[in-house]
Structure 1
Amino acid sequence: MPLKSLAEYQVTAMQKYHVVNTGYQGITLLYVLKGSVNVTCNEYCQTLQKNDILLINRDTPYQLDSLQANIVLNLEIADAYCVRYYKNYFFSRYILGEMETPDIKKHYVDNIRRLLANIMISYLKESQQSLLEINHSLSHLLLILVSFFREPTSKIDHKALTYSDKIKNAIRFIEDNYNKQISLQQVAQHEYISISYLSRLFKKEVGIGFIEYLNNIKFERATHDLIHTKSPIYRIAEKHGFFDVKQFTKMFKLQYQTTPKKYRIEYQSNQADIIFTPVNHYRKEPQQTESPVAVAELLPLLVNIINTQDLISNEYSSYDEQLIDLTQSTIDDTIPSTPYIIFVGELQELLKENVKQQIALLKETTHINYVEVSHLISGNTILPEFITDEPTPTHSPYYNSDIAIAFLHKHNIALFVRIYHKSFKMFNDIYMNKIIKFLQNYVNHYGLDYVQRWQFIYYIDESEFNPKTAHEFFNSFVQIRQAIQSCIPQCKVGLYCPIINHEGEVESYGAKDLLQQADFLGYASTPDPLSEETSQTVTPDNRVMCLQRKAQKLRTFLKRNDINVPLYLMKWNTFTGNTRHTNGSYFRGALIFQTLLALFQYVNGIGIVLNTEMQQEENKPNHIDTSRIALFYLFNTKRPIFYVLKFLDKLKGRIIARSADYLITENPYGYQMILTNVSVFNPHISIQAHLIQSFQQQRLVSLMGIKPGNYQIKKYTFDQQNGAVYRQYLYFSTKFGYDQEIIEYINRNTVPELAVHDENIKDKWEVLTKLDINAIHFYELKRVE
């Protein structure tokens, strides 16, 4: 195959017994595939064992010695290649070796191993696309070195910096035209400089003269054809720019101390067993001892590297360093926790198998305190009573509710009942009697201790509230509260009504008297919708803080008026909008997590809808109520808030450090750390992939002051790629429905990624991680004695 000029790179695999290298104008990578080899240079002296890798910086003399059989893969990448794609190449040195590489970067070293194996295999394949494959791997490898193994240096090689465009262009011209009868004068004319100046500059920068460099290229290409093709020698001489076969043979003998014919016989007869090592055109080396490696022995080693080393990512970028000194932290907070109230609609929804499965899943994952139901008395759950001639009636109006309450009792979940003002006003005495009978029935079944945990909330709809008739609501609420507490004295009866405005203030006449009668207060808080008029990017703090600010103002108002009651946030969402992107495919995991953390210090209960089906508004069957957030999508697939609640429930111990983008706890078993990347933009106008990628973050987090010891470290990654339900549905774009196989596959893949490894920590732990938009990375560091 037509090889790239060795002025740019070369790759070999040899047995190394004694090799002296006086310095290479570029980066050298040594990768030991078998055995071991001793490396000596002015920076270090060390032994490389099997699978070890070492980088030697430019112009660094080194020596390799070994008494045992080995295989060393050697890749040299010239300055000219590096600086072409990375202009600041000469301002840095590159540190890559088993002794120098931190644990957090070991997987990038694994990437380099795989890339080196890929380059060697591409070289051996000799296919038409091999050159493209090699260049792709080289670029990928350099990107890793520049991103993670670069160390700025104050010693600038001014000679390297002056590796001029003139010489780079001259080399490129020679490579493109080497097989023609070109002269130094032609090259000089091409660059618009004098012959004498080009000659001096070429020798100074490249290290050899123009003629020697030109002949080396011709010989490198010609010897390749001698070994790997059956072309007649005279054809090879013509192809690569020699006058005739006689001149080719004479010059070849001077270069290799043998004729082209003998060279071909010696090497081509063993073509399947050896790798030809081209001459290096950058330096003249002393006598050294090395020998070719059998391809049959080399290939299995390379294939094994590729099969066992997974390429982590094709994207590399700079990272932000974040140092957290736990010894200097003054935080010692308890982990926030608040009851969750799960809305399911009417009580009879608990008769559905999928609803029961979802409730059971939640109970296993987090602490569900209440299941909220509506239309308990006015709905269809309680069956009508009728006259019977049976001495003891076998029919019970509570047949359906018995099944539902038995399920809740089994899972130790209390009932949370909505009583709508409109329904109570319409039936008044009948309504109160039904409520009392209902409660008495279940006190008899399950005892007072369980039923008195139930709570009731009196709902006044925004559309029916009139500040001028506030006394009417006051009287109705007092009646229903007295009726319930006459049967169950310890039962809590709260109030949800629109007298609490969007700013958390209560301005209606008589409202304070009404609030003072409530055992708790329920309210709604939803940020304003994001529309096309909203700016493209939105400050994350504003979206989280708007919910926190309302809760804070409401607390202040209640305290100012001597009203000391719990606050329940019944209806909320992070934001809403007019497109499916806003409440659908736009992943919001970290945004939800930070919102709940901010709310926990102000509210005593948080309402959440069980599934998307229940977000359907009662009077608008084709409209989804986006003022509330749901836990499940279709077929029991979990929406992001499900795993947010799971992570919050997993937090143990005490908080010892926190900021806007991390939370660290300590417990008897070790430590926990949550990293978040809260990102908010308007997906209605900004769903483009390039914008989403611009919100991604890469961080090097260093924890100082960790207790030394052996740790098992778990990492949960929850982002658009790992756990996002809508992405999984997009993979199965079909208008003909989802069968059981598709549903099971989606459910299996809608989970955060889990990785586990062991690590010995002394006093500092470092982790390099890339956080996608609104990603959550949860680390558990469990100390192992």
Structure 2
Amino acid sequence: MMNEKYHLSLLPITAKKTLLFKETTILFLVKGDMMVQAEGQEHAVMDGHLLIFNPNDTLKITKIFRDDCVLIQLQLDSLFFSSLYPRFFTTNFELFPKQLESGKREAIYNLRKYVAELALSHYSAETTKDLRISMNLHQIILLLIQFFQKESSYYNYHFYNEKIIEIIEYIGQNYQHPLALEQVASTFFMSPSALSKLFKAETGYYFSHYLTNLRVRQSLKDLLHSRLNIDEISLNNGFSNSKTYRIHFKKLFGESPSIYRQHYFKTDDPTVIHQPKETASLESDNRDILATLYYYAHLPQDETTDIERVETHKKLAIHTQNVRDQINAEVIIHINTLEDLLNADTQTEILVAKKAIDIRYIGIQNLFLESPESYTVYKEESLSIFSPFAKFDMVLEFLEKNQLGIYYQLSLTDYETISYFYKTDRQYFLRHIEKKKGTDFFKNWKIDCQFNHHELLNCIRAFSEIYETIQQINPVIQIGAELPLFYPNYDISDPILKDRYLKQVIPKCDFLSFQSEPNYTYEKNEIIIPNVENFNEFVFKESQNIKKRLASWQISLPLYLSQWNTLTGQSRATNGSFFRGALVLQEVLKLDLVVAGYGFWLNTDQFETSQEIKPIKFDGLEIFHNYLCKRPAFHVLALASRLKGKVVALGDEFMLTKHYNNYQLLLWNVNYFPPHLSLEETFLESQSVTFRIEIPEIENNFYQVKQIDFNRYNGAIFYAYGDFNSNEPLDYESHEYLAEVSRPKMKVFDLEVNNGFDFYCILDTNAVLLLELTAIKFLPKRQNDK
């Protein structure tokens, strides 16, 4: 059945049949299995598969396996297509079954959905059928443009110049009349050279070529649907004579207008279908076919993605080179005191994190809050048969067994105010550890002295006292100092205090540390709205600035980022909905270039207990929530820890590693925006991106591909909680379920890489994706491969 925008038909299928297409065509095998040949390659086509062809493409059906095959053909009118997409005349499309495993699965499923919906509407008697068909056609064309172009020019242009749209519309309305570049330029108050340059830049080809191609395409209406002769057709469509028309027609379609018209209506070769006048029709009472179309039009929601809302498209052409070694920063997981390690749940969380993440240190804020009763008894009774710190002996065993060091953040302000006995008890505890475990046990201990920049002089005195004490207990313990340097100057303003710090503190240090919290910097500006882009990689930039300051002081000690955060929000709702996976990952992947290690909190409870000021304004970077629910920071570190081998390509949105014959490609979509917008779903959807990835240097192989998608719907506990609308507290079963489902999505498929890796994927706002390519079968090397 024909209308001015498309042609829909049911094709008869027989073996050894050849199809020749005159328009952009989608074939939809609704039912059946067959083998086809196109572009010199053979493809197995099964139920639900789609194929796309361009004008003058051919398809040969080589074998059918069932007699009840049903093949629907949807031809898109070139004139209608070009009216929506000016680049149509220089664009080719492609879709074969193999592309299901090239990252286009969701796009293919959506395309199939809209083709099925269009077919159902086409054969229905509903009063709204024309509206539904129009909606489906626009969605189909949008998907073709976004995901199935052979050429990559689309990715170089995201928005057309408004002026060029007006010009194209003007040409479309006046192509039948004599049109010259000078005349059109004058109409739009431009010089001919300016119009020519703009037209080429925005459409991809010259004004005269566009006009000629448009006239030839428009002539098809008269050629195929009227009895006008060739001379009349050429004059009706803006050509000065039929000779010029014939020349340009043959350039575009490969044959003369007369031969093209003959082939459209008849053919002497019974194996070739050019464009049949009559094809099989789909009767409304054929319930089998209609039921199948209905199935494809109404797939379960979790099998399709609403990808039409993706507004940004990027092409990543990745070329390999030896960039750098893999991430090697030491990860610190903070708890409050050593006593917390007596808790079985805390130990379980640490072991789970240890398995997924290369944890080196357990960070503590205090050794213990109160001296244990066993120590009091020991002092009073002097009974050496009892261990004075018996309950901590199990903690020491846990640390030693799992090769975990201690990163002790000792507040110098607190140290100044505590009693002599408090200090003595803790000193004795350290001596107890040495007797219990030996000197080597302390090689993995760091004491990071925390300076209060408002009481810098007192802190310098306290630091000296602690340093002398630790030297007497065991000089193997490393001593560090927190740097009193802050945004934006990263310097000590008082020259006397600065001199004392540099002379009395730095020479005694084995390492230095700092903390970074961009939210306070963001919040300080109350009058002028801060530029959020300034907070892109804020922590990494702050680390670089501190390193520069240290270099100016000729200091080269290891630097630890003990605690840090990304930009977030001030309310629990904002914190939860502001998914920050890519923000954390981007910082992590760069921080190890400037710091020796960085810290995270073990869980929400530990973090909130540690904060002196309540209510807590900003979420920290915690590994767990409750009931072993993994927070985004856990998944970020776990993904980063999976990377092996050499980094062979690194960009603002990707990292590629190679380990023997295997590859890992990590992608992320970083979006910095005012945190309150995280509650606006429409805005969040607008931040998603479609990536087309090309890596020509990936070796020719068959690979098993593991794809891990980490985004706000797969890996963020806040969004999983959205399915639980009860105001009452959830029971353990519900929390256990949430802990299980709030995890990144994984799928595995086989992929042949021949002459380079080409892949599509969609990343939601601040989402992360990991592709792991494991070689399973080797292909012959290309001639240009060494």
Q: Once the 2 structures are TM-superposed, how far is the Cα of residue 408 of structure 1 from its aligned partner?
A: 2.5
Q: How far apart, CA to CA, are the structure 1 residues paired with 2:45 and 2:611? A: 73
Alignment-derived partner of residue 772 in structure 1 = 764
Is 2:304 aligned against 1:325?
Answer: no
Matches within 5 A, 1:688-767: 688-767=680-759
2:29 pairs, out of 15, 25, 31, with: 31
Deviations 1:712-769 (A, max 9, x none): 1112111222212222223324332121222122212221111211112233101111
Q: Once the 2 structures are TM-superposed, how far is the Cα of residue 784 of structure 1 from its aligned partner?
A: 2.1
Q: Which of 1 and 2 has greater Rg? A: 1
Alignment-derived partner of residue 67 in structure 2 = 69
Alignment-derived partner of residue 376 in structure 1 = 367
Q: Which stretch shifts more, 369-378 or 74-83?
A: 74-83
User: Which amino acid counterpart does residue 550 of structure 2 have in structure 1?
Assistant: L
Matches within 5 A, 1:333-732: 333-376=324-367, 379=370, 385-386=376-377, 392=383, 397-427=388-418, 429-463=420-454, 465-466=455-456, 470=457, 472-496=458-482, 498=484, 503-506=489-492, 507=495, 508=497, 509-512=499-502, 513-527=504-518, 528-531=520-523, 533=527, 535=529, 538-539=532-533, 542-580=534-572, 583-616=575-608, 620=612, 622-624=614-616, 626=618, 628-684=620-676, 687-732=679-724
Is residue 334–residue 654 contact of structure 1 (8 Å, CA) maintained in 2? yes
Q: How far apart, CA to CA, are the structure 1 residues paired with 2:501 and 2:378? A: 45
Q: Once the 2 structures are TM-superposed, how far is the Cα of residue 11 of structure 1 from its aligned partner?
A: 4.3
Matches within 5 A, 1:264-303: 295=286, 298=289
Q: Once the 2 structures are TM-superposed, how far is the Cα of residue 703 of structure 1 from its aligned partner?
A: 0.5
Q: How far apart, CA to CA, are the structure 2 residues paired with 1:595 and 1:117? A: 45
Deviations 1:97-120 (A, max 9, x none): 539969636524454445444555
Q: How far apart, CA to CA, are the structure 1 residues paired with 2:278 and 2:736? A: 66
Q: How far apart, CA to CA, are the structure 2 residues paired with 1:629 and 1:615? A: 9
Deviations 1:240-274 (A, max 9, x none): xxxxxxxxxxxxxxxxxxxxxxxxxxxxxxxxxxx
User: Which amino acid counterpart does residue 480 of structure 1 have in structure 2?
Assistant: I
Q: Once the 2 structures are TM-superposed, how far is the Cα of residue 781 of structure 1 from its aligned partner?
A: 1.4
Distance 1:488 1:99, change over 3 A: closer
Deviations 1:582-608 (A, max 9, x none): 543211111111212322122222122
Distance 1:659 1:438, change over 3 A: same
Q: Once the 2 structures are TM-superposed, how far is the Cα of residue 344 of structure 1 from its aligned partner?
A: 0.8
Is residue 702–residue 776 contact of structure 2 (8 Å, CA) maintained in 1? yes
Q: Which runs of 5+ in 1 are unaligned?
A: 167-200, 210-282
Matches within 5 A, 1:27-426: 27=25, 29=27, 31=29, 33-34=31-32, 36=34, 50-51=46-47, 53-55=50-52, 57=54, 69-77=67-75, 79=77, 82-83=80-81, 86=84, 88=86, 91=89, 94-96=92-94, 98=96, 104=102, 107=105, 108-120=107-119, 137-150=136-149, 204=222, 207=225, 295=286, 298=289, 310-315=303-308, 319-326=313-320, 329=321, 331-376=322-367, 379=370, 385-386=376-377, 392=383, 397-426=388-417
Deviations 1:638-681 (A, max 9, x none): 22211111122111111111122211111124111111222111
Q: Which stretch shifts more, 446-455 or 286-295?
A: 286-295
Distance 1:317 1:27, change over 3 A: farther
User: Which amino acid counterpart does residue 140 of structure 1 have in structure 2?
Assistant: Q
Q: How far apart, CA to CA, are the structure 2 residues paired with 1:783 and 1:387? A: 62
1:407 counterpart SS class: helix
1:495 counterpart SS class: strand
Q: Which stretch shifts more, 755-764 or 22-31?
A: 22-31
User: Which amino acid counterpart does residue 496 of structure 1 have in structure 2?
Assistant: E
Q: Which stretch shifts more, 409-418 or 527-536?
A: 527-536
Q: Once the 2 structures are TM-superposed, how far is the Cα of residue 386 of structure 1 from its aligned partner?
A: 3.7
Q: Once the 2 structures are TM-superposed, how far is the Cα of residue 164 of structure 1 from its aligned partner?
A: 9.7
Is residue 51–residue 97 contact of structure 2 (8 Å, CA) maintained in 1? no
Alignment-derived partner of residue 781 in structure 1 = 773
2:594 counterpart SS class: coil
Q: Once the 2 structures are TM-superposed, how far is the Cα of residue 701 of structure 1 from its aligned partner?
A: 1.1
Deviations 1:117-159 (A, max 9, x none): 45555667767877776555444333322323346899xxx9x
2:102 counterpart SS class: helix
Q: Which stretch shifts more, 513-522 or 60-69?
A: 60-69
Distance 1:387 1:47, change over 3 A: closer
Deviations 1:279-318 (A, max 9, x none): xxxx995788999899466467657767999434441656
Aligned residues: 660
Deviations 1:565-597 (A, max 9, x none): 222222321235544465432111111112123
Q: Which runs of 5+ in 2 are unaligned?
A: 154-167, 177-218, 228-273, 778-786
1:745 counterpart SS class: helix
User: Which amino acid counterpart does residue 69 of structure 2 have in structure 1?
Assistant: I
Alignment-derived partner of residue 258 in structure 2 = none
User: Which amino acid counterpart does residue 141 of structure 2 have in structure 1?
Assistant: L
Q: How far apart, CA to CA, are the structure 2 residues paired with 1:674 and 1:65? A: 41
Distance 1:613 1:79, change over 3 A: same
Q: How far apart, CA to CA, are the structure 2 residues paired with 1:740 and 1:208? A: 74
User: Which amino acid counterpart does residue 311 of structure 1 have in structure 2?
Assistant: T
2:444 counterpart SS class: coil
User: Which amino acid counterpart does residue 86 of structure 1 have in structure 2?
Assistant: L
Q: Which stretch shifts more, 362-371 or 332-341?
A: 332-341
Is residue 318–residue 695 contact of structure 2 (8 Å, CA) maintained in 1? yes
Q: Which stretch shifts more, 373-382 or 733-742?
A: 373-382
TM-score by length of structure 2 reads 0.72
Alignment-derived partner of residue 214 in structure 1 = none
Q: How far apart, CA to CA, are the structure 2 residues paired with 1:23 and 1:453? A: 72
Q: How far apart, CA to CA, are the structure 2 residues paired with 1:436 and 1:21? A: 88
The CA RMSD over aligned residues, in Å, is: 4.5
User: Which amino acid counterpart does residue 510 of structure 2 have in structure 1?
Assistant: D
Distance 1:11 1:441, change over 3 A: same
Is residue 359–residue 404 contact of structure 2 (8 Å, CA) maintained in 1? yes
Distance 1:561 1:118, change over 3 A: closer
Distance 1:104 1:461, change over 3 A: same
Deviations 1:596-636 (A, max 9, x none): 23221222221222222233366746322638532222333
User: Which amino acid counterpart does residue 613 of structure 1 have in structure 2?
Assistant: D
Q: Once the 2 structures are TM-superposed, how far is the Cα of residue 700 of structure 1 from its aligned partner?
A: 0.8
Identity of aligned residues (%): 22
Distance 1:87 1:606, change over 3 A: closer
2:522 counterpart SS class: coil
Q: Which stretch shifts more, 773-782 or 353-362?
A: 353-362
Is residue 101–residue 750 contact of structure 2 (8 Å, CA) maintained in 1? no
Is residue 450–residue 481 contact of structure 2 (8 Å, CA) maintained in 1? yes
Distance 1:35 1:736, change over 3 A: closer
Q: How far apart, CA to CA, are the structure 2 residues paired with 1:47 and 1:554? A: 59
